Structure 1
Amino acid sequence: MVRRNTRSHCAFTLVELLVVIAIIGVLVALLLPAIQAAREAARRAQCTNNLHNIGLAVHNYASARNTLPPGDVRDPTFNGGTQVKSMYSWITLIMPYIEEANAHGVMDWTQGLELNQSAINPAHHIFIKTFACPSEINQASEIGIVNPFYGARGNYVGNAGLGWFWAEDVSPNDQLAGWLADTSAGGNPLKARPSTSATGIHMTGLGSFVVSSVDPVKGRRFSEFTDGTSNTAAVSELRLVPDLDTRGAMHFGPASLYMHDWVPNVPSGQLNTLNGFKAEDWTRYCDRLGLPREIAPCKQASDGWKGLWQHSARSYHTGGVNLAMADGSTKFISNDTDLLVWMALGTSDGGEVVDSSF
């Protein structure tokens, strides 16, 4: 007798298969934003941790030296006293406090960058991981160094206050004297504009990091922060640009600083209602091709390296930037922060009252 196999064969129809694929696609579409958001949250947390460590290094330097590191150390005797030369920055000075003592020690910083640029593995070419935000789209492998003179770049820059940075000042007094001489409205620094001759245009000297002569090397004291260290910004973020763009060059003073004239991540082309200038960084080797203009707008610094510089806080985090305060705490500052509040955070002794809910 022949037995027949009465078992039915189970299989998906084409319609059922398409429905399953569609459901999987919808689930993936729903999950991807959540995964991306979780990854960005992790990157932002790492960025915050970097800023915390940098703030701690600044405090350790201050404990050892009784002053904060100056933002830019300059030699006024360079070239027989006919030219002021930037020697190194606040980042250079805190290297021993972020576990980079060996890198700091392989280079004679008293010679200046121009005498070390051809040395084997000079310290100012070394990438410092603590200064890299993981949300930056141009990571170290793409950024590398600016060129043999300026060296490596990083995402974290020190608060220089308000205004334009004139790269031949040698002291906070020079900065303030030049700035106040060129302000309008009774010396109100919020309304100052650079003069056409660039004479008297200086960094305000109101921020956490000031200029110092190489002898002696001296920055701000915490006792000078009459606004309170919890109300004064210390270090924020900066977007990097490939090729020769100097923004973020760690060991060149003007490139390692930023100002509070614009709120974080200010849109390209927006006008500052106080002084009428467009939102763009003033920097050397401004690169408008490396990134879309709206991401990192810029214009060439006047008069080469010694001219006017001004950088703004920018990041790739959604909605704002991470900020390390002068007291060592860290905050996330929204792009929607009021401009006057942001300016007040940029000054250490401006006398403004800042709402703690900023």
Structure 2
Amino acid sequence: MPAQTWTYLRVKQVHSISGSLVGRVNQWLSLTPSKAFSLVELLVVVAIISLLMALLLPAIQRVREAANRVRCANNLRQLGVGLHNFHDQFGRFPTANSYHPADDPKKPTFTSAFTRLLPYVEQDALERGYDYTQRPDADPPNKTIGEQPIGVFRCPSMIPPPTPQAFPGWSSYAVSIGTKRGFGTGYFSDPDDGVFVRHIPGWGQSQGTNIADILDGTSQTIFAGEMGFQLKDYYFTTGPYAGLLRGGNTQWVWGYASYSFGSSEMMFNTVQPNPSDPSDKIKRLQSFRSDHVGGAQFLFGDSTVRFLRPSMSLSLYQALTTRAGGEVIGNLP
């Protein structure tokens, strides 16, 4: 028998057998009654899925928070690089705020250090359009510029303000002015001052510090840290502004305490001020705070970022914020 004829017969035979098997299977399936899930079985399946979700969700949240902390640290490092590039160009760091000589003392400009830093964090166009002779809320152009959301100024873990339309330019970071209160006087020669000094006639210094002024060493001096937005005890409760924040509203463009610079007068992440001390609310208003669990991230002068915990002593924390205090730091916890 020719090979081609034999192959044809074998294929035909296999096809016939497979067709017969398929027919029998279909016949068997048609005779087998279908069985639906009972209510109890369905509830068991739902319970198992819920249990798995309950077990997986915390793990997913931990992974997400870990990723957010990495992104937040990268933001602070970018700010550190920008600050040093600014120093390389001008020989000094920017002041915590900028006061224009032609200002009305009752309505000063108070532009922030972050505004000066815009060209060094890839925001050249915004800085070129900014008018330093006008207040940050002058429109145009400053108000529009100051309302721009800038990613490097925002921590991904930070809870946005409850009324973001009122504070579209909200931010998550602040430069350090040391242990002194931002609303009082601060002098360039005070060893308790931080790296960033205030530029206010009669209050502060007209120019920023340089590397040589940081006698404590850049690796042991905090340059900036996290400053979260929400302080619930600083909301207006009555009147036309009810529900809006009256303080603690961090905004990158404004050179005010609690807006873009903070101090170590109170331990960071303090939840509740001392009710017996009226000044504690002011201290807390300009204290550093974070939405990360267990602590806050700080940028040091050598551009390293460290996660500090509020269980550390206040004296050690304050020593890290002075630029020339001469304190012995030792190993950080």
The bucket for the TM-score relative to the shorter chain is 0.7 to 0.9
Q: Give unmatched runs, 5+ long, in structure 2.
A: 1-26, 231-242
Say yes or no: does 1:137 pair with 2:112.
no
> For the Cα contact (< 8 Å) 1:52–1:324, is it kept in 2?
yes
In structure 1, what is the equivalent of residue 207 of structure 2?
A: 218
In structure 1, what is the equivalent of residue 108 of structure 2?
A: 85
Root mean square deviation of aligned Cα:
3.1
Give deviations 1:50-93, integer Å, cap 9, x for gaps: 111111101110111111111112235534xx668344121111
Give me the TM-score of the superposition, normalised by structure 2: 0.76
Moved more, 29-38 or 84-93: 84-93
**Structure 2 counterpart of 1:25, from 50, 55, 68:** 50
> For the Cα contact (< 8 Å) 1:159–1:346, is it kept in 2?
yes
* Letter matched to residue 143 of structure 1: P
> For the Cα contact (< 8 Å) 2:95–2:208, is it kept in 1?
yes
Q: Within 2, Cα distance between the matches of 1:257 and 1:101?
A: 22
Shift of 1:135: 1.0
Residue pairs, 1:237-256, within 5 angstroms: 237-241=226-230, 243-246=244-247, 247-254=249-256, 255-256=259-260
* Percent of residue pairs identical: 28
* Letter matched to residue 188 of structure 2: P
Q: Secondary structure at the match of 1:342?
A: helix
Shift of 1:13: 4.0
Say yes or no: does 1:155 pair with 2:156.
no
Residue pairs, 1:31-50, within 5 angstroms: 31-50=56-75
In structure 2, what is the equivalent of residue 286 of structure 1?
A: none
Residue pairs, 1:155-234, within 5 angstroms: 155-166=172-183, 172=188, 176=190, 206-212=193-199, 218-234=207-223
Give deviations 1:83-118, integer Å, cap 9, x for gaps: 68344121111110001110011122133436x334
Give deviations 1:301-325, integer Å, cap 9, x for gaps: xxxxxxxxxx011111100111111
Change (3 A) 1:77 1:119: closer
Task: Name the structure where helix makes up a greater proportion of residues.
Answer: 2
Q: Within 2, Cα distance between the matches of 1:208 and 1:43?
A: 27
Q: Secondary structure at the match of 1:85?
A: coil
> For the Cα contact (< 8 Å) 2:176–2:261, is it kept in 1?
yes
Give deviations 1:236-280, integer Å, cap 9, x for gaps: 1112148454532222222311111222211212479xxx56643
In structure 2, what is the equivalent of residue 65 of structure 1?
A: 90
Task: Name the structure where strand makes up a greater proportion of residues.
Answer: 1
Q: Give unmatched runs, 5+ long, in structure 1.
A: 177-203, 283-296, 299-310
Q: Secondary structure at the match of 1:110?
A: coil
> For the Cα contact (< 8 Å) 1:163–1:259, is it kept in 2?
yes
Change (3 A) 1:278 1:78: closer
The number of aligned residues is 288
Give me the TM-score of the superposition, normalised by structure 1: 0.71
Q: Within 1, Cα distance between the matches of 2:85 and 2:102?
A: 30
